[in-house]
């Protein structure tokens, strides 16, 4: 478990990076793509989606930093590492799916980068313990905390 406590923040950081890239592509596209004579960024549905993406990425990033900081302090970080891994992986999947939505039909074709980012994001929900396994670890840490 100590090894996973150490590696999960790095995996979570990778998920944050994928989410950040998809977010940046979506923001640029939303500023450029025009419908009804205005950029789609001006449509409330798109702007709210972008706002949620930014919020979730920031929360994921802070969980990663917290778990890495605890490890750097020599403290046990099983709970925080699993928080970071689960939330970051699920955030990457949600953000990349939303980025594909912002791109519309273009988001699903290989000529646009968000299609690959969405496929990459799925890996983070599986690699180094699925999101479901992270939930098991989190629940165990909550209900049966260890003293070490």
50 found inside a domain = yes
Residue 25: Cβ-neighbour burial (10 angstroms; 0-12, 13-18, 19+): buried
Domain count, the chain: 1
79 found inside a domain = yes
42 found inside a domain = yes
131 found inside a domain = yes
Per DSSP, the three-state class of 129 is coil
Among 58, 115, 128, 141, the active-site one is 128
148 found inside a domain = no
128 belongs to the catalytic site: yes
Residues 20-63 pLDDT 10s: 999 999 999 999 999 999 999 999 999 999 999 999 999 999 99
73 found inside a domain = yes
Angle at the Cα of 116 (from 110 to 121), degrees rounded to 5?
160
Residues 87-142 pLDDT 10s: 999 999 999 999 999 999 999 999 999 999 999 999 999 998 999 999 999 999 99
CA distances from 68 to 40, 55, 63, 86 (A): 37, 20, 9, 15
CATH of the domain at 53: 1.20.140.10
Neighbours of 109 (CB within 10 A): 10
In degrees and rounded to multiples of 5, residue 111 shows phi and psi of: -70, -15
Structural domain including 69 reads 2-143
* 145 has pLDDT over 90: no
């Amino acid at each position: 478990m100590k090894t996973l406590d150490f590696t999960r923040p790095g995996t979570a950081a990778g998920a944050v990076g994928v989410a950040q890239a998809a977010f940046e592509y979506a923001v640029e596209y939303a500023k450029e793509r025009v419908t009804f004579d205005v950029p789609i960024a001006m449509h409330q549905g798109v702007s709210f989606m972008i706002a949620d993406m930014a919020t979730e990425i920031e929360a994921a990033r802070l969980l990663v930093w917290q778990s890495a900081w605890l490890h750097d302090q020599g403290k046990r970080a099983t709970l925080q590492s699993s928080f970071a891994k689960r939330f970051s992986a699920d955030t990457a999947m949600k953000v990349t799916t939303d980025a594909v939505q912002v791109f519309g039909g273009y988001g699903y074709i290989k000529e646009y980068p968000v299609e690959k980012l969405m496929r990459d994001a799925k890996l983070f929900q599986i690699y180094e313990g699925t999101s479901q396994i992270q939930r098991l670890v989190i629940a165990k840490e909550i209900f049966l905390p260890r003293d070490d």
